[in-house]
């Protein structure tokens, strides 16, 4: 399997969609009282992020650009979360906790790296 921006966008997009849907189902990992705190608004952000990445992979937007856009958004969310001073409602809408803040940092780094460092299409042999 050749790792490229399109593959990364598809895999990360599917993960975001899955997490977004799981957030609506009571579970110990992603829920209002889970390891990663979520509410319906937070779940919708995950679903929209996944859709943007999949649109980038399958439509004209382009995988690299979609990864960069989502990566910048998650970097902004990470910064907002880290400077929120322990506030559990990001922008007054999105339920988060400390685990979310650090996950958003890691996601931003991984997604931005994929957008900037991976080739858009597999190299021709």
Report helix, strand or coil for 89. strand
Distance in angstroms (rounded) separating the CA atoms of residues 1 and 77: 32
Question: What pLDDT is attached to residue 19?
Answer: 97
| pTM for this predicted structure | 0.91
- For the four alpha carbons of 35, 41, 43 and 45, in that order, the dihedral sign comes to negative
- Average pLDDT, integer, range 99-118: 96
Per-domain residue ranges for the chain? 5-117
User: pLDDT-derived band of residue 124, with 50, 70 and 90 as boundaries?
Assistant: very low
Q: Which residue has the higher pLDDT, 91 or 57?
A: 57
Q: Which residue has the tokens 């919708």?
A: 44
> Cα–Cα distance between 30 and 63 in angstroms, integer?
27
Residue 1 confidence class, pLDDT cut points 50, 70, 90? low
What is the C-alpha to C-alpha distance for residues 95 and 15, in angstroms, rounded to an integer? 19
Q: Measuring CA to CA, which residue among 100, 7, 13 is closest to residue 55?
A: 13
* Chain mean pLDDT for the chain: 92
């Amino acid at each position: 399997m050749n790792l490229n921006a399109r593959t990364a966008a598809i895999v990360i997009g599917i993960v975001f969609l899955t997490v977004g849907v799981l957030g609506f189902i009571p579970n110990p990992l992603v829920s209002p009282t889970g390891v990663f705190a979520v509410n319906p608004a937070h779940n919708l952000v995950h679903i929209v992020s996944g859709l943007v990445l999949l649109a980038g992979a399958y439509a004209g937007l382009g995988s690299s650009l979609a990864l960069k856009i989502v990566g910048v958004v998650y970097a902004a969310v990470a910064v907002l979360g880290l400077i929120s001073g322990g506030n559990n409602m990001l922008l007054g809408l999105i339920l988060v906790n400390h685990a979310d803040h650090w996950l958003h940092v890691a996601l931003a780094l991984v997604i931005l790296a994929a957008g900037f460092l991976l080739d858009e299409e597999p190299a021709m042999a």
